[in-house]
Amino acid sequence: MSDHDQVTMTGMDYSKERPAAENPLKIMDLTLRDGHQSLFATRGRTEDMIPVAEMMDEVGFWALETWGGATFDTMHRFLNEDPWERIRVLKRYAKKTPFSMLLRAQNLVGYRNYADDMARAFVERSVENGMDVFRTFDALNDYRNFETVVAVIKKCGKHFQGCICYTLTEARLGGKVYNIDFFVNKAKELENMEADSICLKDMAGLMAPYDAYDIVKAIKAVVSVPVHLHSHFTSGMSAMSHLKAVEAGVDIIDTCMSPYAYRTSHPAVEPLVMTLLGTNRDTGFDIKQLASINEVLEKDIIPKYMHLLDDTKASIIDINVLLHQTPGGMISNLINQLREMDALDKIGEV
C-alpha cells in the first residue's frame, strides 16, 4: 500500500477573513440537484430553491449543480414545472457562482440515444439559458457518445467536465478490468478530448478510502487538468474517501448542505470545512454562513419532503450496495415508484 501524505497544518482562524490556504480545496454543491434526487426522488421544486439560492451564491462554491440528471423528466412528469425556467429563475438569485448540470452524453437528460441535431440543439439551448459546466458521462465509459455534445460545449466556450464512471468487479479496486490502469487510461482519453476537468464519478459509493488515494494520485500524475471526486455516501465510505483524496491532491469535491446529505446522497459540506480548517487545503468557507443556510432548509424546506425519504430501514448506510451497486440517484426514485404501486415489499426482488 502507498505511503499517504498528510495535509499541512497552519494557524487556526475561524473568521471568514482568515488568510487564504496555499492550495484551497474547491467544492461543488449538489443540494439543488443530486441532493434532492438522491433523497427525495428528485421532487425538489424551484420555489423551494429560491429561498437559499442567493445565500448559497455567497459561500464561494466552485459551482452549484442545479440541473440535469433526472430533474428534466421529473419536472414534467410529477411537478408540472418548466425545466428551462428553473435555470433562468435561479440565475436571477445566484449571479456569481457557475451553474453545473449532469449531461448523459448522447442521451442528454433522457433514457435513449438522441439524434445528433437534437443533441446539438439541446446543448446550445442549455448554454443560452445559463448553464456553465457540463458534467458529461456515459454509463459504459464509451466516449464515442461524447463526441457530438462535447463539440458544441467547446464551441460555446463552456466547461466540459468528462466523467469516468467508477465501478468494480472485485470487492476493492483491482482485478483484470477495473484497476488503476483502466482509470488512468480513461483519464488520458478525456484529456485528449480537451476536457477542462475530469470527474471520478462514484455513483454508488463503492470507492474505498485507500483506493481513493491511489486512484487520485495516479490520475494527477498523468493529466494536467483538475481532478474532481463525486462519491455517494450509500456505503458509508465516501466521507473517509474524501479525506484520502484530499491528501492525494484532488482539486474539487462534491458535497451537499447537511439537510440534503448522507444516506444515498453525499457527505455534508460542514464537517469537511471544519476538518480542513487551519490546513493548506482550507476551503475558506464561513461555517456560520453555512449554518444560516441550513436553518432555512431545516425549518422551511425539508418538512415538505420528508414523506419521500426512504423509511425502509433505520440505518443511514446500505452495505448491500457493495453487492447490487445501485446508484444513489436511482434508488430513491425506485423506492418511491414501488411505494406508489404498494409494492415496496418487493424491493429485494427488484
pLDDT at 6: 76
Domain range 26-346, CATH class: alpha beta
pLDDT band, very low/low/confident/very high, at 115 (cuts 50, 70, 90)? very high
Cell of 178: 477495473
207 neighbors 236 (Cβ within 8 angstroms): no
Q: Residue written as cell 434532492?
A: 36
Distance of alpha carbon 342 from alpha carbon 350, whole angstroms = 14
**Interval 30-81: pLDDT, tens:** 999 999 999 999 999 999 999 999 999 999 999 999 999 999 999 999 999 9
Q: Does the pTM exceed 0.85?
A: yes
Task: For residue 191, give the nearest of 146, 248, 131, 148 by alpha carbon.
Answer: 146
pLDDT at 1: 46
Residue by residue, what is the 3-state secondary structure of 182-232? HHHHHHHHHHHCCCCEEEEEECCCCCCHHHHHHHHHHHHCCCCCCEEEEEC
Task: For residue 168, give the nearest of 4, 49, 325 by alpha carbon.
Answer: 325
If DSSP codes are grouped into helix, strand and coil, which group holds residue 255?
strand
Domain spans of the chain, in order of start? 26-346
**Interval 162-202: pLDDT, tens:** 999 999 999 899 989 999 999 999 999 999 999 999 999 99
Helix H or strand E encompassing 67: strand 63-68
Cell of 132: 456553465
**Interval 321-331: pLDDT, tens:** 887 787 766 77
